[in-house]
Amino acid sequence: MAPCSEELIDELGLSKGGMTLVDTARAQELYDAMGPAREISGGSAANTLAGLSALGAQCAFIGQVADDQLGEVFAHDIRAVGIDFDTPPRRGDPPTARCLIFVTPDAQRTMNTFLGASQYLPPATLDAEAVAAAKILYLEGYLWDPEEPRAAMRRAIEAARAAGRKVAFTLSEVFVIERHGDDFRALIDDGLIDILFANHLELAALTGENELEAGLAALKDKVPTLVVTCSADGATALSGGERARVSAEPIDQVVDTTGAGDLFAAGFLYGHVNGEPLATCLRRGAIAAAEVISHYGARPEADLQKLMDERLTG
């Protein structure tokens, strides 16, 4: 990831603030156009688990990297924060996935993702015992696009359901809903999603309702726990007939919005698995999101446990 000007976004024809899938050639073209950059481990679900682990939760990650340098870096980084990661690396091409992120002066992140090896996560690598042992199975919409990880996620949902565990799903991005919205709506209608995370744009894309209240109304009876973030306007959650709302947590400066949704999910899920009130879960999400947008990168740098203790009791 690297800072860039608004002009470079236009020059490269990027979709500002969104996420676009790119091939090898386009990834190289964008990397060549970048200024001095930082290489930081990421990945939507991996970022969420990093936040959860920082708060003291026991987590395991299932995802595919290649047998290459970036794969080794990713594996090291995720294990270094206390997360179990046992998926064997994949030999040969394509290489480990990477996301080229351009950050404009207004702190908006524009992501360009080369899925690489991540799109070849085979269902056979799924650790069904780990899924069955977890309180919550957390899935990211980004990887619903490729066939193999989609099959792996369906199998994971079956394993979680068979064990009586909850399934949490993040919609990830509007373009994913445009491609796979029918699948997501079917999962919801079949009662397979217990906790759904979306931002207001994703909610509109999924429900066809542009107004927040209408979108919430469309899903409130279909999803046991619905969490919708609205950027600087805070977040709303509906669960078991209860409704809660939280304002965005104040910070001195927004530096980089990468990972805001990922860390919001981390804070919320930590509160949820510990049986905290809905409003407290939202507040934890807001605090975690505020921390991650105060610096570059999508994983927490501050002591999240200490930060939450201070702000929740202050």
Q: What is the pLDDT of residue 221?
A: 96
Name the residue among 159, 172, 166 with its Cα closest to residue 195: 166
Residue 307 inside a domain? The answer is yes
In the predicted model, residues of the chain with pLDDT beneath 50 are none
For residue 98, is it within any domain?
no
Residue by residue, DSSP assigns 26-82 as: HHHHHHHH--S-------HHHHHHHHHHHTT---EE----BSSHHHHHHHHHHHHTT
pLDDT value, residue 137? 98
**Domain ranges, residue 290:** 43-88+119-313
Q: Is residue 114 situated within a structural domain?
A: no
The answer to whether the bond into 224 is cis (omega within 30° of 0) is: no
Q: Is residue 20 situated within a structural domain?
A: no
Q: What pLDDT does residue 162 have?
A: 97
> Cβ(178)–Cβ(21) under 8 Å?
no
Residues 6+ apart with CB under 8 A from 274: none
Residue 227 pairs in a beta bridge with 197, 237
* Residue 243 counted as domain residue: yes
The model's pTM is 0.94
Question: Residue 191: inside a domain, yes or no?
Answer: yes
| DSSP SS3 for 240 | coil
Alpha helices in 116-259 (DSSP H): 128-133, 147-162, 174-189, 200-207, 212-219
DSSP secondary-structure letter at 119? G
32 in any annotated domain: no
The per-residue b/e assignment along 253-281, b for 16 or more CB within 10 angstroms, e otherwise, is: eebbbbbbbbbbbbbbbbbbeeebebebb
Q: What pLDDT score was predicted for residue 178?
A: 95
pLDDT computed for residue 18 by the predictor: 87
What is the pLDDT at residue 313? 87
Residue 230 maps to which CATH number? Answer: 3.40.1190.20
In angstroms, the CA 282 to CA 288 distance is 10
| Spatial distance between the Cα atoms of 298 and 263, rounded to a whole number of angstroms | 8
Q: What whole-number distance in Å separates Cα of residue 205 and Cα of residue 207?
A: 6
Count the domains in the chain. Answer: 1
Q: Is 113 inside any structural domain?
A: no
Phi (first) and psi of residue 287, to 5 degrees: -65, -45
